[in-house]
């Protein structure tokens, strides 16, 4: 574990060129991976990758947001900003996982859901809402891992799970520090200040009860050692997945509901 | 018999002149003027262009549910400050004094033409109707209560999105509320979502879009991303009717657009169609 | 000249006609229902015949009973007043067939002008400006839709056989057209036995200005200037004035000519009124023609000095008009307030009962055409109008001032009346400025309700 870093420093690491993406991780962690495509309604969103494979021999469903490793890849996957069809693809695959009793592993890494005309026209809000609601009662274990950016509702749509893990430098927030500074202080340049106030780091998430585990990154960040970070992630999954699979599903669902139910600060 | 018979003559003759100049309302959408009394009488709908102005939660309750039937739940709930955000507590206190509201939603039980419901009304006067811990908790409790009692839920949504001062805690309210909606639905519950002006952001992306039936008032703003953000992304101006209720209706995300003056009747009919009759008259 | 006239009506108009008969030297026969035994008209006529039970269809609308009563009492003519059978072509024809002179226009005119849709078409052909809309009745929703699109929304769907504000529906948008048309047809069928409708553009807050015409059987036509009847509640007139505060001498001349053209086009004789709507540009449009004496005739009589009811009788007897258009000069200004036994606090519901005390004003320029007396019991069977109070002053302000003290002195006990309501209108600043249109009273009432 690196010595204490500020939120801003961690954010810079997350945006470092060469930080591994799901395309890097899959061959390292899973075997027999087959990618699935399409939402069976109208399209296939390249910002979300979904498929089935094996983790330690056990069939699992994998759903992830796709970051590109260069500008061309990023254009192709819309910089990991999904459209409604991406979320609907995710839901389709998740339901299939439920049917075939496969645990679901979600990899979150997105600046947020795409803000465009087509996205609004195809019901971006509804797609996210649907996923959040449906994932809450899927009768199969769900583990979500934030690899880099957990951008708001667009991330939460893959983030309703039995346990959430964050990579050490990853962040999870209701909006970007830049956006936050623009809206609250009318000054986007104060984003660094915003990133500290907002409490967006992995440690903040655990403290606030939003995340349950932090996955260590190699010294200097994940981009420095793909093998090591992949190993860490795999180790985490290899322990968590069997643990959740052994639980009684109704107990698991109650715990899943409670995980979110308990979050809130109020007085009566 | 005729004692005082002619007293009325002087009273009548000396009665004051009546000035009759009605105060006028100028519509922010169509910029035309109409008598203010007419605007108020229509419950804040512009008589010229049908722009449905914003109602406070108390006004909404008054025109929707049966007189004296509303019983508030969790009325005393106020938000904490989970991120220790500077000035957040002060801002809340200021608004509580100004609006008389503790936060941006009022929930409770009521009847609509006799049909019992659990009802929630968001109020954009309190921090733009943004969703934080209190909105999340109250709405979650409303749905849990409805699940427990086998009641339908009617939710009037109005929000600028998540409560930024509560950060990730606000984001989690999306999951919390949606979870409660899902359990209510799985138990067979009816949920009617009524989108009012504006319904955006995290509220659109959670419980607001999960109604079995989704109703919108005419010409209200409904969407996920903000207009300016989208214009910034696509580098183009958007059409006037983008993200208005009619647009969402056309694209398939709103079941019906209902005028404010008809809302109470429509809700009543829908409730009855789902078997929710007044207590005395069992279906 | 007639020796005896039967008055086929009741209330204040019957009393008015009896008085006109007395002036000419004609004997009057009143008819009354069993509920009207004690009414003024039955009591003061030379003779009175009971023609049936209280229900109007069995008494005042009972053509056979009325004609029989006329024959039995040896009448030469029947004056139908207004309402009841006054615009019933069949009744006019029935009278003729029994050798009784119907005091009014020919039954042919009544028939022609009674069909509001056809009347409009006739007027248009004669060059009288009409409200944009259908030429005659519409036969289908599609036709109505085409016409409405051309004239521009909002439009009204009106019953051809209608009147008195019934069988009218407003349509604000194409989406509502079909439903409102069906509703109007239904109401027309129920009230007038005829579901024919026509489409007319709805003018927003126009003025209702009508022209009184009178013609003899020798082809002489004159108009007696206009009356403004914009003060209406639910299409019922409440207060009228002569002349209209918004009509200039030029407009008067134009409207008068249009009215005479209209009358000539129908070969009309006797008294009639052409109702126009005048919009904010002071363009006027023919709305309908009433083939009878009207309630508000007294204000014209006061201002022109011309006795319309007497003239009706004289014309019916074959005498020519005694004056020409140039002889008609307007003197001063007159206002009429209709005094009804009703309760304005409770949505103007009628207030029948016994008049336990009554004091009516007098003095210069005050005329009362009433039908009630102290001790009279008003029944619930007929309309609630108990009197008309007319004030004639040297100008509009003078007339308003007179009306104000006259209303103040008008005291009725035992039943509710609209006297205080009328006082409110007289004192209203907008009324005093002549600043009111057909929509005024509606808005005035809304405002009062909200206060």
- The ranges assigned to domains in chain C are 4-103, 132-201, 207-450
Q: pLDDT tens digit string along A68-80?
A: 999 999 999 999 9
- Point out the least confidently predicted range of A29-43, B49-63, B166-180: B49-63
Residues of B with Cβ-Cβ distance to C407 under 8 angstroms: 12
Q: Provide the pLDDT confidence category of residue B222 given band limits of 50, 70 and 90.
A: very high
Comparing C-alpha atoms, which of B160, B196, B224 is closest to residue B52? B196
Cα–Cα dist C238/C193, whole Å: 28
Percentage of chain B modeled with pLDDT above 70: 95
Top pLDDT among B43 and A42 is at A42
Cα–Cα dist B164/B81, whole Å: 11
Q: Provide the pLDDT confidence category of residue B9 given band limits of 50, 70 and 90.
A: confident
Comparing C-alpha atoms, which of C448, C244, C426 is closest to residue C347? C448
Question: B251 near A121, Cβ under 8 Å?
Answer: yes
Mean pLDDT across B196-202:
93
Cα–Cα dist C28/C33, whole Å: 17
Window A:118-177, CB contacts with B under 8 Å: 119-126, 128-130, 132-134, 136-137, 152-153, 156-157, 159-160, 172-175
Shortest CA gap B214–chain C (Å):
23
User: B170 to chain A: nearest residue by CA?
Assistant: A174
Q: pLDDT tens digit string along C226-241?
A: 999 999 988 889 999 9
Checking if the pLDDT of B85 tops 80, the result is: yes
Checking if the pLDDT of A248 tops 80, the result is: yes
Q: pLDDT tens digit string along B159-171?
A: 999 999 999 999 9
pLDDT score, position A186: 87
Q: Which candidate in A42, A152, A266 is best for mutational testing of the B interface (most B CBs within 10 A)?
A: A266
Checking if the pLDDT of A26 tops 90, the result is: yes
**Nearest Cβ partner for B22 among C424, C428, C447:** C447
Shortest CA gap B45–chain A (Å):
26
Q: pLDDT tens digit string along C135-188?
A: 778 888 889 988 988 887 788 898 887 766 677 888 877 778 888 888 888 888
Cα–Cα dist C417/C387, whole Å: 10
What secondary structure letter does DSSP report for A223?
Answer: G
Query: Touching check for A265 and chain B: CB below 8 Å?
Result: yes
Cα–Cα dist C24/C2, whole Å: 9
Mean pLDDT across B247-256:
94
Cα–Cα dist B270/B258, whole Å: 12
For residue A173 the two structure tokens come to 């927030």
Length of chain A: 268
The single residue listed with the structure tokens 């749509």 is A157
Give the phi and the psi of residue A64 in degrees, each rounded to 5.
Answer: -150, 155
Comparing C-alpha atoms, which of B149, B137, B228, B221 is closest to residue B184? B149
What secondary structure letter does DSSP report for C279?
Answer: -
Checking if the pLDDT of C373 tops 80, the result is: yes
The single residue listed with the structure tokens 């259908």 is C134
Within 13 Å, how many C-alpha atoms sit on residue B239's CB side? Answer: 8
Cα–Cα dist C383/B169, whole Å: 71
CA B151 vs CA A41, B159, B180, C96: distances in Å: 34, 25, 14, 74
Kindly determine whether residue A128 and residue B205, on different chains, have CB atoms separated by under 8 Å. Answer: yes
Summary mean pLDDT of chain A: 95
Q: What is the dihedral of CA A108, A109, A112, A113, to 10 degrees?
A: -60
CB atoms within 10 A of CB A29: 24
* Contact exists between A and B (3 or more beta carbon pairs < 8 Å): yes
Q: Pairing state of beta strands A171-173 and A142-151?
A: parallel
Q: Provide the pLDDT confidence category of residue B52 given band limits of 50, 70 and 90.
A: confident
Cα–Cα dist C322/C327, whole Å: 10
User: B36 to chain C: nearest residue by CA?
Assistant: C447
Query: Touching check for B18 and chain C: CB below 8 Å?
Result: yes
Question: A123 near B253, Cβ under 8 Å?
Answer: yes
Query: Touching check for A235 and chain B: CB below 8 Å?
Result: no
pLDDT score, position A237: 97
Angle formed at CA B122 by CA B120 and CA B125, multiple of 5 degrees: 150
Kindly determine whether residue B81 and residue A265, on different chains, have CB atoms separated by under 8 Å. Answer: yes
Mean pLDDT across C257-285:
91
Query: Touching check for B19 and chain C: CB below 8 Å?
Result: yes
Query: Touching check for B23 and chain C: CB below 8 Å?
Result: no
Cα–Cα dist C62/C9, whole Å: 11
Kindly determine whether residue C423 and residue B22, on different chains, have CB atoms separated by under 8 Å. Answer: no
CB atoms within 10 A of CB C208: 21
Query: Touching check for B37 and chain C: CB below 8 Å?
Result: yes
Q: Provide the pLDDT confidence category of residue B282 given band limits of 50, 70 and 90.
A: very low
Cα–Cα dist B175/C276, whole Å: 66
For residue B56 the two structure tokens come to 């406070």
What secondary structure letter does DSSP report for C434?
Answer: T
Q: pLDDT tens digit string along B112-142?
A: 999 999 999 999 999 999 999 999 999 999 9
Q: pLDDT tens digit string along A83-131?
A: 999 999 999 999 999 999 999 999 999 999 999 999 999 999 999 999 9
pLDDT score, position C177: 87
Q: What is the dihedral of CA C431, C437, C439, C445, to 10 degrees?
A: 10
Residues of A with Cβ-Cβ distance to B207 under 8 angstroms: 129
Within 13 Å, how many C-alpha atoms sit on residue C303's CB side? Answer: 26
Mention every residue, 6+ apart, whose C-beta is less than 8 A from residue A120.
Answer: B223, B224, B225, B230, B242, B243
Residue C51 burial (10 A CB sphere; 0-12, 13-18, 19+): buried
Q: Which candidate in B164, B168, B240 is best for mutational testing of the A interface (most A CBs within 10 A)?
A: B168
Shortest CA gap C168–chain B (Å):
22
Residues of B with Cβ-Cβ distance to A184 under 8 angstroms: 164-165
pLDDT score, position B1: 59
Shortest CA gap A132–chain B (Å):
6
Q: What pTM was computed for the model?
A: 0.59
User: C357 to chain B: nearest residue by CA?
Assistant: B2
Checking if the pLDDT of A1 tops 60, the result is: no
Kindly determine whether residue B35 and residue C443, on different chains, have CB atoms separated by under 8 Å. Answer: yes
Assign domain C132-201 to its CATH superfamily: ATP-grasp fold, A domain (3.30.1490.20)
Cα–Cα dist C24/A223, whole Å: 119
Write the DSSP assignment of C44-77 as a string of letters: HSSEEEEEE-SSGGGTTT-HHHHHHHHHHTT-SE
Length of chain C: 451
Q: pLDDT tens digit string along C76-118?
A: 999 999 999 999 999 999 999 999 999 999 999 999 898 887 8
Question: A92 near A40, Cβ under 8 Å?
Answer: yes
**Nearest Cβ partner for C408 among B1, B9, B35:** B9
Cα–Cα dist C195/C211, whole Å: 29
Question: B197 near B216, Cβ under 8 Å?
Answer: no
Shortest CA gap A29–chain B (Å):
29
Cα–Cα dist C150/C156, whole Å: 13
Helix (H, G, I), strand (E, B) or coil at C261: helix
- Point out the least confidently predicted range of B268-272, C402-406, C435-439: C435-439
Mention every residue, 6+ apart, whose C-beta is less than 8 A from residue B235.
Answer: none
Cα–Cα dist B94/C77, whole Å: 84
**Nearest Cβ partner for B20 among C409, C423, C429:** C429
Q: Chains with 3 or more CB pairs closer than 8 angstroms to B? A: A, C
pLDDT score, position A2: 59
Shortest CA gap C261–chain B (Å):
39
Q: Which candidate in C411, C412, C422, C437 is best for mutational testing of the B interface (most B CBs within 10 A)?
A: C411
- Point out the least confidently predicted range of B23-37, C23-37, C78-92, C358-372: B23-37
CB atoms within 10 A of CB C248: 11
Mention every residue, 6+ apart, whose C-beta is less than 8 A from residue B208.
Answer: A125, A129, B155, B157, B159, B193, B195, B199
Checking if the pLDDT of A36 tops 90, the result is: yes
Comparing C-alpha atoms, which of C325, C338, C332 is closest to residue C229? C338
ipTM: 0.93
Kindly determine whether residue A174 and residue B223, on different chains, have CB atoms separated by under 8 Å. Answer: no
Comparing C-alpha atoms, which of C426, C371, C252 is closest to residue C13? C371
Comparing C-alpha atoms, which of C381, C327, C416, C298 is closest to residue C35? C381
CATH number, span C207-450? 3.30.470.20
pLDDT score, position B283: 44
Answer left, alpha or beta for residue C310, where phi above 0 means left and psi between -120 and 50 means alpha.
alpha
Indicate which residues of C carry an active-site annotation.
292
pLDDT score, position B19: 61
Mean pLDDT across C325-348:
95
Kindly determine whether residue B224 and residue A113, on different chains, have CB atoms separated by under 8 Å. Answer: yes
Cα–Cα dist B81/A145, whole Å: 27
Distance of CA B168 to the CA centre of its chain: 25
Helix (H, G, I), strand (E, B) or coil at A101: coil
Summary mean pLDDT of chain B: 90
Shortest CA gap C268–chain B (Å):
43
CATH number, span C4-103? 3.40.50.20
Instruction: For helices C11-24 and C308-316, give the axis angle rounded to 10 degrees.
Output: 60
**Nearest Cβ partner for B167 among A126, A199, A267:** A199
pLDDT score, position B21: 64
Q: Pairing state of beta strands C270-278 and C284-290?
A: antiparallel
Cα–Cα dist C88/C70, whole Å: 17
Q: Provide the pLDDT confidence category of residue C15 given band limits of 50, 70 and 90.
A: very high
Window A:87-126, CB contacts with B under 8 Å: 113-117, 119-126
pLDDT score, position A241: 97
Q: Provide the pLDDT confidence category of residue A188 given band limits of 50, 70 and 90.
A: confident
Question: C404 near C363, Cβ under 8 Å?
Answer: no
Cα–Cα dist C325/C76, whole Å: 30
Within 13 Å, how many C-alpha atoms sit on residue B7's CB side? Answer: 4
pLDDT score, position C396: 97
Answer left, alpha or beta for residue B93, where phi above 0 means left and psi between -120 and 50 means alpha.
alpha
Residue B238 burial (10 A CB sphere; 0-12, 13-18, 19+): middle
Q: Provide the pLDDT confidence category of residue B54 given band limits of 50, 70 and 90.
A: confident
């Amino acid at each position: 574990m690196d010595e204490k870093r500020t939120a801003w420093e961690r954010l810079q690491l997350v945006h470092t060129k060469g930080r591994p993406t799901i395309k890097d991780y899959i061959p390292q962690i899973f075997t027999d991976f087959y990618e699935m495509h399409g939402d069976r309604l109208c399209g296939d969103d390249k910002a979300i990758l979904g498929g089935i494979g094996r983790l330690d021999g056990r069939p699992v469903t994998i759903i992830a947001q796709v970051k590109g490793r260069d500008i061309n890849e990023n254009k192709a996957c819309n910089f990991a900003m999904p459209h409604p069809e991406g979320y609907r693809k995710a839901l389709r695959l998740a339901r299939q996982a439920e049917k075939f009793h496969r645990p679901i592993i979600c990899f979150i890494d997105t600046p947020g859901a795409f803000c465009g005309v087509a996205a609004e026209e195809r019901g971006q809000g509804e797609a996210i809402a649907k996923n959040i609601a449906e994932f809450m009662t899927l009768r199969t274990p769900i583990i979500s891992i934030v690899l880099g950016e957990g951008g708001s509702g667009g991330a939460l749509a893959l983030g309703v799970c039995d346990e959430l893990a964050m990579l050490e430098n990853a962040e999870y927030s209701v909006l970007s520090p830049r956006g936050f500074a623009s809206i609250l202080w009318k000054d986007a340049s104060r984003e660094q200040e915003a990133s500290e106030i907002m409490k967006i780091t992995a440690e903040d998430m655990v403290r606030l009860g939003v995340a349950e585990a932090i996955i260590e990154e190699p010294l200097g960040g994940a981009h420095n050692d793909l093998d090591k970070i992949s190993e860490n992630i795999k180790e985490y999954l290899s322990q968590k997945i069997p643990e959740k699979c052994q639980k009684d599903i109704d107990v698991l669902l109650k715990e899943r509901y409670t995980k979110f139910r308990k979050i809130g600060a109020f007085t009566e | 018999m005729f004692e005082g018979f002619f007293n009325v003559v002087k009273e009548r003759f000396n009665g004051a002149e009546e000035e009759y100049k009605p105060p006028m309302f100028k519509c922010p959408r169509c910029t035309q003027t109409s008598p203010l009394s007419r605007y108020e009488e229509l419950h804040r709908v512009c008589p010229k262009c049908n722009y449905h102005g914003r109602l406070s939660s108390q006004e909404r309750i008054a025109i929707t549910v049966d007189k004296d039937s509303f019983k508030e739940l969790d009325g005393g709930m106020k938000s904490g400050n989970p991120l220790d955000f500077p000035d957040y507590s002060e801002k809340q206190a200021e608004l509580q004094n100004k609006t008389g509201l503790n936060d941006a939603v009022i929930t409770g039980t009521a009847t609509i033409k006799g049909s019992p419901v659990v009802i929630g009304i968001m109020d954009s006067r309190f921090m733009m109707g943004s969703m934080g811990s209190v909105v999340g908790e109250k709405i979650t409790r409303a749905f849990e209560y409805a699940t427990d009692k086998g009641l339908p839920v009617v939710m009037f949504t109005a929000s600028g999105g998540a409560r930024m001062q509560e950060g990730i805690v606000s984001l989690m309210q999306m999951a919390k509320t949606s979870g409660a909606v899902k359990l209510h639905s799985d138990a067979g519950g009816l949920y009617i979502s009524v989108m009012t002006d504006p319904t955006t952001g995290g509220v659109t992306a959670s419980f607001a879009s999960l109604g079995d039936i989704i109703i919108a008032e005419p010409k209200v703003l409904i969407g996920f991303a903000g207009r300016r953000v989208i214009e910034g992304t696509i580098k183009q101006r958007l059409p006037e009717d983008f993200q208005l209720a009619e647009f969402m209706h056309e694209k398939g995300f709103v079941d019906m657009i209902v005028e404010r003056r008809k809302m109470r009747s429509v809700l009543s009919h829908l409730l009855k169609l789902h078997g929710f009759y007044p207590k005395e008259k069992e279906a | 000249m007639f020796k005896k006239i039967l008055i086929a009506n009741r209330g204040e108009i019957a009393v008015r006609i009896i008085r006109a008969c007395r002036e000419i030297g004609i004997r009057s026969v009143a008819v009354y229902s069993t509920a009207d035994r004690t009414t003024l008209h039955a009591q003061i006529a030379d003779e009175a015949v009971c023609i049936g039970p209280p229900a109007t269809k069995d008494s005042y609308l009972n053509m056979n009973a009325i004609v029989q009563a006329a024959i039995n009492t040896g009448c030469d003519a029947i004056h139908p007043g207004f309402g009841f059978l006054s615009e019933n072509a069949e009744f006019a024809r029935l009278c003729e067939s029994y050798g009784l002179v119907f005091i009014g226009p020919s039954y042919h005119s009544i028939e022609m002008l009674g069909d509001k849709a056809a009347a409009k078409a006739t007027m248009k052909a004669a060059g009288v400006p009409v409200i944009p809309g259908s030429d005659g009745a519409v036969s289908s929703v599609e036709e109505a839709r085409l016409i409405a699109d051309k004239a521009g929304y909002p439009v009204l769907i009106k019953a051809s056989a209608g009147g008195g504000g019934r069988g009218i529906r407003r349509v604000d948008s194409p989406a509502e057209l079909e439903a409102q048309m069906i509703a109007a047809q239904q109401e027309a069928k129920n009230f007038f036995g005829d579901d024919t409708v026509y489409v007319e553009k709805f003018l927003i807050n126009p003025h209702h200005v009508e022209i009184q015409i009178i013609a003899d059987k020798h082809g002489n036509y004159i108009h007696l200037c206009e009356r403004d009847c914009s003060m209406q509640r639910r299409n019922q007139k409440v207060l009228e004035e002569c002349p209209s505060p918004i009509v200039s001498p030029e407009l008067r001349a134009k409207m008068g000519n249009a009215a005479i053209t209209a009358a000539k086009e129908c070969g009309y004789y006797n008294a009639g009124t052409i109702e126009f709507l005048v919009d904010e540009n002071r363009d006027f449009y023919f709305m309908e023609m009433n083939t009878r004496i009207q309630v508000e005739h007294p204000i014209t009589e006061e201002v022109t000095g011309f006795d319309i009811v007497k003239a009706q009788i004289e014309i019916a007897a074959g005498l020519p008009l005694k004056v020409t258009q140039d002889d008609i000069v307007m003197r001063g200004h007159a206002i009429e307030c209709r005094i009804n036994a009703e309760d304005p606090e409770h949505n103007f519901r009628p207030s029948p009962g016994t008049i336990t005390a009554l004091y009516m004003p007098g003095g210069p320029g005050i005329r009362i055409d009433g039908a009630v007396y102290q001790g009279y019991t008003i029944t619930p069977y007929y309309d609630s109008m108990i009197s008309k109070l007319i004030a004639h002053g040297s100008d509009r302000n003078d007339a308003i001032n007179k009306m104000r003290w006259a209303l103040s002195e008008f005291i009725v006990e035992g039943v509710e009346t609209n006297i205080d309501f009328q006082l409110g209108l007289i004192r209203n600043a907008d009324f005093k400025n002549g600043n009111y249109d057909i929509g005024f009273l509606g808005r005035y009432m809304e405002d009062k309700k909200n206060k």
